[in-house]
Structure 1
């Protein structure tokens, strides 16, 4: 519950103060651990309840709305802020005001107390200018461009500062102003709001729009969501390190190839004849080359792989180039689907010929036609498995008995006289 500015500057002494030449470092002499208590009119070892009681009494007396001294009220509020917190009070009692400001147990290096309350206000350690936001643009790229590499020119529009910048006098370059609001007798709430005069920038300046053409280099093997960064080319803002322009690679879906990492996948449907006797297949690759994919002599392409997995073969070194080392490429995987003949495609002559040529033909079985019933297969859908019988046709004549009176399954009851 502070006004603005540096309330602790009233308690600092000599070179050890926040504005002194020590740059916020703790002085070599013994730290003063009593000044805050004296401000509230208390002894150092007082009870915690006494701190709150003393603050209320002094706040009413010195509140600016009641004609009190604003300078004195800031001192009282700052002292209460530290002593009302047991942890901060313990640090102050041991190491003095600088320990509270450092946020560490006498060693410093912690978050600056003033940064928390004033958004990086006075007394802040030198940390350099804050960094502006990056600007991201999606960049849709074809798989061919990611395979071969490409340079594209893209025009971007950015705001640049014209001339010199000046610090906002309203907020003293902080971008925020502090306001007090009384919430109860003797109790005030400090609120921080954005400075309207500078729009929260802390500095005033003139800007103009600039059109800049960037050459975006899409390197071989780049992947989906990979970023291409242009440092310091985002919108310029006063007293802020300019952010970056970032292009995010968005890989477009390909009609033929599927990509995963440095590997490519392509699907191929072949006939049963090709699966058994061999095939030749001409493929146009992503760089325009044509490669001839053939099966090995005597190789059989199966309908599926082990445990029902798709049947896959691969060609080494025909996948995507590796990003950063394009001479090392992944594999080109081929997923096969075997297309069997349809009903009616096989006549008796073809069937007889295949039985003679193919291994393991169907063997004749001797059986008694009067004792063995011969049945034929019909087309079916595995999704219908379990739906056969009366349940599959909306119920039958022999439904289970029902306990509901008058139901369709009600049986005949015996009546005794």
Structure 2
């Protein structure tokens, strides 16, 4: 089948971000084998023994592989991005050890440490739950958020006179260099946040603090954003509000979980990530909609009519004329009744309907004559007039097949021996007894 009926209720339209996939040079839907193959090629190319000038590149490649090769980490990264890995959300408690093992205290280009000041503030990411109806019809939502803004009274210095005082402990750098002994003759230098100024690079005495921000340099501001959800947007699609995040760049020290604010950097964006909730009737796959309809055997043979309530409240009359036979699990499509195509909402995808046929219960007819009449109508084969008799003829009955019970008896494991040929497949899944053998019929 060209689409999956897995009952998840929503389609997967790709990860929140693709940085780690780009590092390994693979697509977001790459298989584990493709990820492993790409990692091995890149690791050989950028290994420090072969390429000593690309040590950081090798760390980034190794880190990307450590995340994407682990199903739980990859799922967390797809859902929350690098921030999810960094914060250890979703039950991923080993984030600190993983990050520090690769980057120590200096950080990397996607996990900046205290030793590297970013020129741009961090984005604020919010996940907005929307219904499939919202994505079909479009909607405007109001989102209230709290952010930090530079104090207008002291212009972000935190002092009354607007002049900051350099921290004597770190000489205004906000960081200090410490040495850690790893063994005999082995010493590692680490950059850590200055404990005297908290990483700000300046210290303000109580009497010199700004009265409005109390020396914090920033104030809290509440703002309401109008989020316009356009018709045909997808789950996990992003909506950007430029420079609406905190007005200060935030620099993280991963293993200390510390944060400092530095006024004057470019403000980051507010990023709204759409999260589609599960729908009771429809599943979305790209620009198409998929639904399951259960019908009786009579409807499958004789035709039917039924009404589908669409996402905009309209009704679709679905008809299968008499004479058209629907087989179990068949799929039919209605063009132009899928999702609006984002950017071209007048065009729409296809509505696919998968038909599940419900067969009648056993002994659903009371009289033998009724079964004979039904057989005649359906054109069934007539029973032989003369059936074989004698001691070599045994009348047997069919029984239901219990697959679980059969597997517990040691069959159906799916393991094929070298001596088995393709003809044995016809017996796969059917009980033949512990000592059953295939017997070739005699040819007359």
Q: TM-score surpassing 0.5?
A: yes
Alignment partner, residue 145 of structure 1: 134
Query: 2:173 maps to what in 1?
Result: 174
Shift of 1:327: 1.7
What runs of 5+ residues in structure 1 fail to find an aligned partner?
1-85, 88-115, 122-128, 304-309, 390-398, 401-417
Structure 2 Cα separation of the partners of residues 244 and 386 of structure 1:
56
Structure 2 CA distance for partners of 1:189 and 1:154, relative to 1, 3 Å: closer
1:208 to 212, 216, 219: 219
Residues 1:165 and 2:185 are matched in the alignment: no
Residue 353 of structure 1 aligns with which residue?
373
Distance 1:131-1:311 versus aligned 2 partners, 3 A rule: same
| Aligned counterpart, 1:321 | 340
Match of 1:292 among 314, 317, 330: 317
Q: CA deviation at 1:143?
A: 0.7
Equivalent residue for 1:378, pick from 393, 399, 405: 399
Deviation, 1:352, is 2.0
**Are 2:235 and 1:224 equivalent residues in the alignment?**
yes
Q: Tell me the distance in 2 between the aligned counterparts of 1:233 and 1:152.
A: 17
Task: State the 1:258 CA deviation.
Answer: 1.0
Q: CA–CA distance in 1 between the matches of 2:180 and 2:278? A: 58
Unaligned residue ranges in structure 2 (runs of 5+):
1-51, 54-111, 158-163, 203-214, 249-262, 411-433, 436-444
How many angstroms apart in 2 are the aligned matches of 1:225 and 1:194? 35
Q: How far apart, CA to CA, are the structure 1 residues paired with 2:407 and 2:195?
A: 73
3-state SS of 1:319 partner = strand
1:249 is paired with a residue of what secondary structure? strand
Deviation of 1:176 after TM superposition, in Å, equals 2.5
- More relative contact order in 1 or in 2 (CA 8 Å, sep 6+)? 2
| Residue matched to 2:296 | 271
Distance 1:150 1:133 in 2: 27
In the alignment, what sits opposite 1:363? 383
- When residues 191 and 273 of structure 1 are mapped into structure 2, their CA distance, relative to the original with a 3 A threshold, is closer
- Note the aligned Cα RMSD (angstroms): 3.5
Alpha-carbon separation, structure 1, partners of 2:149 and 2:379: 79
Q: Secondary structure at the match of 1:318?
A: strand
Kept after mapping to 2: 8 A contact 1:161/1:205: no
Rg (Cα) greater in structure: 1
Superposition pairs for residues 24-103 of structure 1, below 5 Å?
A: none
Change (3 A) 1:120 1:337: closer
Give the match for residue 276 of structure 2: 251
Deviation at 1:192, TM superposition (A): 4.0
- Cα distance change of structure 1 residues 361 and 368 upon mapping to structure 2, 3 Å threshold: closer
Tell me how far apart the structure 1 counterparts of residues 191 and 279 of structure 2 sit (CA, whole Å). Answer: 53
Q: Is the 8 A contact 1:168 1:197 kept in 2?
A: no
2:234 partner SS:
coil
Per-residue CA deviations over 1:46-92 (Å, capped at 9, x if unaligned) read: xxxxxxxxxxxxxxxxxxxxxxxxxxxxxxxxxxxxxxxx99xxxxx
Cα gap change, 1:376 to 1:239, in 2 (>3 Å): same
CA distance in 2, matches of 1:313, 1:284: 17
1:49 is matched with: none
Query: With structure 1 as the length reference, what TM-score do the two structures score?
Result: 0.56
Cα distance in 2 between the residues matched to 1:285 and 1:314: 15
> For the structure 1 residues 337 and 207, does the alpha-carbon distance in structure 2 shift closer, same or farther, using more than 3 Å as the test?
same
Give the distance between the partners of 2:190 and 2:327, measured in 1 at CA.
74
Q: Structure 1 residues 256 and 281 mapped into 2: Cα distance closer, same or farther (>3 Å)?
A: same
Q: Deviations over 1:176-199 (max 9, x none)?
A: 34579999xxx9997644234553
Q: Using the TM superposition, give the Cα deviation of residue 224 of structure 1 relative to its aligned residue in structure 2, in angstroms.
A: 1.7
Corresponding residue pairs, total: 261
Q: 1:362 to 1:200 in 2, by over 3 A?
A: farther
Residue 136 of structure 2 aligns to a residue in which SS? Answer: helix
**Alignment CA distance shift 1:151-1:285 (3 Å):** same
Aligned to 2:60: none
1:242 matched to which residue of 2?
Answer: 267
Q: Do the aligned residues in 1 keep the contact of 2:156 with 2:218 (CA within 8 Å)? A: no
- The corresponding residue for 2:46 is none
